[in-house]
Structure 1
Amino acid sequence: MKIYDIEGFPNPLRVRIALAEKGATNQVEFVPVDVMGGEHRSEAFKTKNPDATVPMLELDDGTCIAQCNAITEYIDGVFDGPSLMGTTPAERARIAMMNLRAENGLMNAVGAYFHHATPGLGPDLETWQCAEWGNKQKEIASATMAYLDSVLADNEFLAGDSFSVADITAFAGLGFADFAKVDIPESLTNLQAWRAKVAARPSISG
């Protein structure tokens, strides 16, 4: 299988961490996409992924799967190792809930701020911007950080006692926040400690 992405970007990082957690990084081929050059918006790429986004997974039979959550679910199902999505209905539901909160409230909110209220990726790629919307999303990202900190006051990880896809999404979201200069308050000590713990995992540190 192939993963089309650009190394170092936040959403591709989510998939790369998931692969590493499953010990499957060497079982896929990474195909670099020139996002800064607009390759993801080319007709050739949109034929495979009409979302015009990375990452994208292409299976050996030509099936293309976009969207991080869908890609991660496939990875979790086909490779051995502890599940990142949960094993019981209750676990799966809680992980899915926390993953969406981290994605919508942090990852996507930071992304909206970056693409709308800053120069983003430059005028060639940022063809429409609404600064008011972007700045509102920055507020949402900050509120979500505080919420996650409160969750971590009583839990080792965001969805309970086990590392999951929710932790991957939030970790990548905080990295994006650093890049976009959305401050992570030092007062959020639970979030800061969790981040350091996650950063030390072999899937990230190694």
Structure 2
Amino acid sequence: MKIYDIPGFPNPLRIRIVLAEKQLASQVEFVKVDLPAAEHKQAAFLKINPTGTVPVLELDDGTRIAECTAITEYLDNLDGDPILTGKTARDKGVIHMMQKRAESELIDPVGIYFHHATAGLGDALREYKHPQWTARAEWGKLQGEKAVAGMRYFDSVLEAQPYVAGDAFSMADITVWAGLLFAHFARIDVPDDCNALRAWKERVDGRASVVNPA
């Protein structure tokens, strides 16, 4: 298998944590994509993934799977023993619901804020942004506020249970953790009163797959 990504970036890191959780890193060849140079927006990469995003998983038969949730589903179920996406119908439903919320209410708004309300990754990517830069910047700032609201939402969830989707660590936890990492990089602070979220992050920070991702 191959994974097209760039080390240390939030979404690629999500999959590298999955690989560590599933002990699959030795089965993967990593192909670096230079995001700051806009390599993911060029014709060669767009043939690999038309949406121009990383990570992308390429199987030995040439099949390519993009989007973190889809890649996680594949990797987690490869051995018939899913530990991150749910074993029962109920668990699958709850995990996928919280995974969607982790994306729509936290990591995606942080990404929009970073790319449109700040300098983002630099000049090489500027031409791929919306031409109405000023309007986009204001929208980006609103998304930053949405991300903070998302932090407060997950804080309330974690006041009642140990993990984002219930009693067990799941892909939803990975996404929230990556969202907070991205927020820190984008200089969006976790509210001081989000004690449950802060305590949860401290626990996840110490998890072996997070300390040493693939």
Q: TM-score range by the shorter chain?
A: over 0.9
State the distance in 1 between where 2:202 and 2:160 align.
Answer: 17
Deviations 1:130-165 (A, max 9, x none): 011101111110001001000001100000000000
Structure-1 residue corresponding to 2:11: 11
With the length of structure 2 as denominator, give the TM-score of the two structures. Answer: 0.93
- Bigger RCO (CA 8 Å, 6+ sep): 2
Report the residue type matching 1:105 in the other structure: E
Report the residue type matching 2:167 in the other structure: D
| RMSD across aligned positions (CA) | 1.1
Q: Which runs of 4+ in 1 moved over 4 A?
A: none
Say whether residues 1:199 and 2:200 are aligned partners. no
With the length of structure 1 as denominator, give the TM-score of the two structures. Answer: 0.97
Structure-2 residue corresponding to 1:123: 123
Report the residue type matching 1:38 in the other structure: A
Aligned positions of 1:19-30 closer than 5 A: 19-30=19-30
Structure-2 residue corresponding to 1:163: 169
SS in 1 for 2:47: helix
State the distance in 1 between where 2:35 and 2:83 align.
Answer: 31
SS in 1 for 2:57: strand
Structure-1 residue corresponding to 2:51: 51
Structure-2 residue corresponding to 1:112: 112
SS in 2 for 1:4: strand
State the distance in 1 between where 2:15 and 2:56 align.
Answer: 9
Report the Cα offset of residue 124 of structure 1. Answer: 2.1
SS in 1 for 2:125: coil
State the distance in 2 between where 1:81 and 1:126 align.
Answer: 43
Structure-1 residue corresponding to 2:70: 70
Say whether residues 1:184 and 2:152 are aligned partners. no
Report the Cα offset of residue 185 of structure 1. Answer: 1.5
Report the residue type matching 2:97 in the other structure: M
Using the aligned pairs only, state the percent identity.
54
Say whether residues 1:174 and 2:183 are aligned partners. no
Structure-1 residue corresponding to 2:85: 85
